[in-house]
Amino acid sequence: METTRIELEQELDVEKPIFIEGLAGIGHVGKTSVAYLADHLGAEKVGELYSHHFPPYTIVTDEKTVELLKNDIYQIKRDDKADIVLIEGNAQASTPEGHFEVAEKIIELVEETEPERIVTIGGYGTGEVVEDPSVFGVTSSDSIQEEYESADIEFEHDVDQIVGASGLILGIGKDRGYEGICLLGETPGFLLSDPKATEAVLNTLESMLELDLDYSELDEKVQESQDVLKKLQNIQNQQSQDQDQQNSDLGYIG
């Protein structure tokens, strides 16, 4: 029984793409940014990643249908610019082993495309609300930092570590010879969703990827995202309740 698996509807058909990861996490900066890219750039969905290490929940959609937690894989073919591969999703692993296993599975997929760059996206909680959030950068090696000079990325910061997929994918990728950068949107940390941090990251990506993003959709997307996140918050409340139930119920969950 395979505990983490990628199901491709079609083989990735890109050349030396920029690979971009954004999964659920602090302020949902990663997930929301990459979801916006996928939407706005007309990305083509090519597959999904499922893992036994995700939390054992299923999502109920607005249509009252069930959805397994998963990560979605997209490709964007561009004529005069680098191709793009995206992975975006509503779950990360729930155990240490799971985090490493999922990150390695993703790197194995990415390796097949010989990516030009790996870009991972997350939020960095500072505990403070700021008017104009920064985008902090962490790279696979310092030699590529000048590459990003024009993209308004801050390399003077106090970030000491990266938790979860964004760090592991960049770090494992580095060990296998792929250069890349982690973009961390500055966010208070206590916000479930942070549109401002997301916009800051999108501005940076716009420059890095030579995009011309239409931000008029952002408000809509942010609203949509907030609906989803409100739902996730309800899930979390239910989860706490289940936890209590679990404690009073032999550890069996509904």
What part of residues 138-157 is at the interface with a copy of itself (CB under 8 A)? 138-142, 145, 155, 157
* CA gap 248, 21 in Å, rounded: 39
DSSP 182-231: EEEEEE-SS-S--HHHHHHHHHHHHHHTT----THHHHHHHHHHHHHHHH
Closer Cβ to a copy of itself, 76 or 172, answer by number = 172
Closer Cβ to a copy of itself, 3 or 10, answer by number = 3
Q: What count of residues does the chain have? A: 254
Closer Cβ to a copy of itself, 80 or 146, answer by number = 146
Q: Are 10 and 46 in contact (CB under 8 A)?
A: yes
List the one residue out of 205, 4, 1 whose CA is nearest residue 103.
Answer: 4
Q: Which residues inside 112-141 make contact with a copy of itself, applying CB under 8 A?
A: 122-125, 127, 137-141
Q: Which of 47, 98, 133, 195 binds a copy of itself (CB under 8 A)?
A: 98
How many residues of this chain bind a copy of itself (CB under 8 A)? 90
Of the listed pieces 75-83, 185-193, 197-205, 208-216, which binds a copy of itself according to CB under 8 A?
A: 185-193
Q: Are 115 and 178 in contact (CB under 8 A)?
A: yes
* CA gap 158, 113 in Å, rounded: 33
Min dist CB 188 to a copy of itself, Å, is 10
Closer Cβ to a copy of itself, 207 or 239, answer by number = 239
List the one residue out of 190, 155, 173, 141 whose CA is nearest residue 28.
Answer: 190
Closer Cβ to a copy of itself, 44 or 101, answer by number = 101
252 sits near a copy of itself (criterion: CB under 8 A): yes
Tokens for 9, please give them: 């509807």
66 sits near a copy of itself (criterion: CB under 8 A): yes
Tokens for 162, please give them: 């990266």
Min dist CB 86 to a copy of itself, Å, is 18
40 sits near a copy of itself (criterion: CB under 8 A): no
* CA gap 10, 187 in Å, rounded: 36
